[in-house]
Amino acid sequence: MRIVFCGTPDFSVEPLNQLLVNQFNVVGVYCQPDRGVGRGRKIQYSAVKQCAIDNNLDVFQPKSLRNPDDIETLRSLKPDLLVVVAYGLILPQAVLDIPSIGCWNIHASLLPRWRGAAPIHRALLAGDKTTGVGIMDMEAGLDTGAVYLQHECAISQNETAQKLHDRLAKMGAHALIECLELLKNNLLPQPMPQDNENVTYAHKLEKSESKISWDESAKQIDRKIRAFNPWPGVVGCIEGIDYKLWKAEVVHKETNLNPGEIVTANKNTLVIACKKGQLKIVVIQKPGKKQMQIDQFMPSMRQWYK
């Protein structure tokens, strides 16, 4: 079986690694073009490109897959299967029609919930108790294809987007190998169409969403802190200054103070009033400084003590 792999970020690396470990025939790797990072716009390879180079795989980086020459290059690889994992480019029907078996996508949610670009973050923001991964037969629509299999997992109360990302990447890689083994043994079931009445969309994360309001509930702010860790991080205003908040705990207690006012402050503790409940800050970051545990931060903030 000739497999072409399409993916770009960290989430895509584990599935590619598992294909190689299990000795599947990866004949080419597609990822997005290199981009400059930082002030100097230094070119940095994506995680998938670096993995492909390390394993002596041919790498292709078209700006889109709508150009006839790029489509012809893909066709020349004679793929039986396209495996797509967080690639970041739209695959037109002309591309989907190339592989003899089809195009499979690893998606980090239990479809049809959270179709779209940011399923991990949206699940955390919504307070979902469970999520999972699935192997989907790709169509031209946005995550609309029928699903071969899905595996569910619980979301823990203190889980960040990064931790959930890492868990689901491994789950997705193993689900992919499971599907491929079923296919090899002629045991792969027909994919199940999605229930379109239960669709939700996971819109792309925007940096503008990272600014919190203390008029939100403590529970919702905590969800944001976890969902936006590591990017873009949550920004909250305390005593007139914007701080990044990286970890917090919900205090299920009400107060007569206005949202945003300090409830408790001492050398080890900082608790802020919210519209509903209170938020105990655990890890904070001053503008232009590094993250700090709250007991490192508070000794210099004696003017807040109460």
pLDDT score at 41: 75
**Considering the entire predicted model, what is its pTM?**
0.95
* pLDDT number for residue 43: 83
- Positions of the chain with pLDDT under 50: none
Give the pLDDT confidence score for residue 86 in this predicted structure.
96
Cα separation values, 143 from 61, 72, 91, 106, 154, Å: 22, 25, 12, 10, 22
From residue 85, how far is each of 2, 200, 212, 220 by CA, in Å?
Answer: 17, 20, 31, 30
User: Helix, strand, or coil here: 185?
Assistant: coil
Which domains, from first to last, does the chain contain? 2-202 (3.40.50.170), 207-304 (3.10.25.10)
